[in-house]
Amino acid sequence: MAEQQALQENIWLKDFLLTWINRFSFFLAHHLTRPILPLYVASFDASSTVIGAVMAVFTITATLMRFPIGMFIDRLGRKPFLLAGIAFFIVGNFGYLWAPTILLLIPARIIHGIGWSACTTAVATLAADIAPQKRRGELIGYAAMASSLGGAVGPVLGFALLKQLAYPGVFLGTVALLLGSLLLAALIPEPKRAPAASVKKLRWIDLLVVPETLLPAVAVAFLSFGHGGILTFLPIHALKLGLENPGYWFGLYAFCLFIVRPVAGPLSDRISRRAVILPGLFLNFTSIVLLVLADSPAWLMAAAVVGGLGTGAAQPALMTVAVDQTSPQRRGQSMAQYQSFYDLGIGVGSLTLGAFLDLVDRSYSLMYVVAAVVALAGLWIYWRRSTPMPATPAIAAESEGRF
């Protein structure tokens, strides 16, 4: 019996590590270009509104595509969407390289958004499939560390490539990473699908929304709204405040995400998800307040530390709630819903905060005030609507297929 348990653990651990490395590779590729693209669009003499709109095209596309992708992942499997997503990701980056005008960047952003939606939804669902239920919060936190590590290294490496090889070097370096990611994805096995549960026929609205996991999805949208403005405009703001390489800000932020997740994940398993989520959302709000006050690189870096710790605690715990409260048969759709709301927050934040920035004569402090108000609203909503409960409320229901 002990040997059989050890063998089963070795199998899921190997698959989990393959998934982790693959996730790291394409998150690294994504974060190579993410802070560079606003500067690239600005090089076309674009206004803040146009920069925000171009960046938002990606997130809006990813948001819209997650709903059908989530449904088909549950029906057709995870791996085909992982492979296709990375392939679209590659095509999108070639599009950036070849686009001579802002208008022609739009198709590349759309293709990139489709690819990102597919590969991130697939890899998140794979991690949830592989993780044993009793260690789910911990392992989803570890899986998210791959994203954090990619986010830490990517911006620093991206700005280094930009300095040495200009924009073509950044996009070609990203494509090279993604080709390696595509080869690695081919090695990941497709998990066995859970047998269909005997449930009542779904209404049409159930094909679009997973009601039992709507609260964590809404909460992460409020969390990511400010991220939309930060990801888009902080590189420009940081350069104005004298931070020579804005990639250092993103690297420090992601490093703090990385170090908090091994602590926050097990805590959410042992105490409750809510006990981790609420402090995380509060720290996210506090970090945006620090950005409001920032008048030097030191203030920016303080905000990176606080924001990284807050998001690193709250985001994986919210995702774990979305896994806890749905069945294996609808897990892909629940993950898609969660990530689509995250993308929606970033897209709406990027677009509206960019337009607001033009209205207030590019006052970054005022822009961050708006982001802080939205973050505080998200904290209040989750505090009011969530209820304290055991860390794994859906154990029995999941095993019986009742959700």
Yes or no: say if 115 and 86 are a contact pair by the CB < 8 Å rule: yes
Q: Which candidate, 111, 114, 136, places its Cα nearest to that of 124?
A: 136
The least confident of 302-306, 338-342, 391-395 is 391-395
What pLDDT does 193 receive? Answer: 63
State mean pLDDT over 372-378. 97
Report residue 69's pLDDT band, with 50, 70 and 90 as the boundaries: confident
pLDDT tens-digit map of 299-338:
999 999 999 999 999 988 998 888 888 777 777 788 888 8
Q: Which candidate, 317, 323, 335, places its Cα nearest to that of 74?
A: 335
State mean pLDDT over 57-82. 86
State mean pLDDT over 149-166. 88
The residue with greater pLDDT, 196 or 67, is 67
What pLDDT does 8 receive? Answer: 54
Residue boundaries of the structural domains of the chain: 10-190+208-394
Yes or no: say if 202 and 53 are a contact pair by the CB < 8 Å rule: no
For residue 140, count other CB atoms closer than 10 A to its CB: 25
Yes or no: say if 149 and 312 are a contact pair by the CB < 8 Å rule: no
What pLDDT does 173 receive? Answer: 94
What pLDDT does 10 receive? Answer: 60
CATH of domain 10-190+208-394: 1.20.1250.20
366 vs 179: CA distance, rounded Å = 41
State mean pLDDT over 246-269. 86
**Percentage of the residues of the chain whose pLDDT score is greater than 70:** 89
In DSSP notation, 162-193 reads HHHHHHHHHHHHHHHHHHHHHHHHTTSPPPPP
The two most distant CA atoms of the chain are separated, in Å, by 69
Mean pLDDT of all residues in the chain? 85
pLDDT tens-digit map of 185-214:
999 888 776 555 544 555 545 556 777 888
Q: Is the pLDDT of residue 391 over 60?
A: no
Q: Is the pLDDT of residue 46 over 80?
A: yes
What pLDDT does 35 receive? Answer: 86
Per-state percent for the chain, helix, strand, coil, to nearest 5 = 85, 0, 15
List strand residue ranges (DSSP E) for 294-354, in order.
none
Give the pTM: 0.74
For residue 383, count other CB atoms closer than 10 A to its CB: 14
Q: Is the pLDDT of residue 228 over 80?
A: yes
The least confident of 67-81, 214-228, 352-366 is 67-81
Q: Is the pLDDT of residue 146 over 60?
A: yes
What pLDDT does 119 receive? Answer: 92
Q: Is the pLDDT of residue 399 over 50?
A: no
The residue with greater pLDDT, 400 or 66, is 66
Q: Is the pLDDT of residue 398 over 50?
A: no
pLDDT tens-digit map of 97-128:
898 888 999 999 999 999 999 999 898 888 87
- Show Cβ contacts of residue 319 under 8 Å, excluding neighbours closer than 6 positions: 124, 140, 144, 216, 220, 335, 338
Yes or no: say if 96 and 111 are a contact pair by the CB < 8 Å rule: no
Report residue 361's pLDDT band, with 50, 70 and 90 as the boundaries: confident
- The letter for the amino acid at 24 is F
Yes or no: say if 317 and 137 are a contact pair by the CB < 8 Å rule: yes
What pLDDT does 207 receive? Answer: 59
State mean pLDDT over 59-63. 85
**Percentage of the residues of the chain whose pLDDT score is greater than 90:** 41
66 vs 119: CA distance, rounded Å = 10
- The letter for the amino acid at 78 is R
What pLDDT does 343 receive? Answer: 82
Q: Which structure tokens are listed for 402? A: 């009742």
What pLDDT does 81 receive? Answer: 94
What pLDDT does 396 receive? Answer: 34
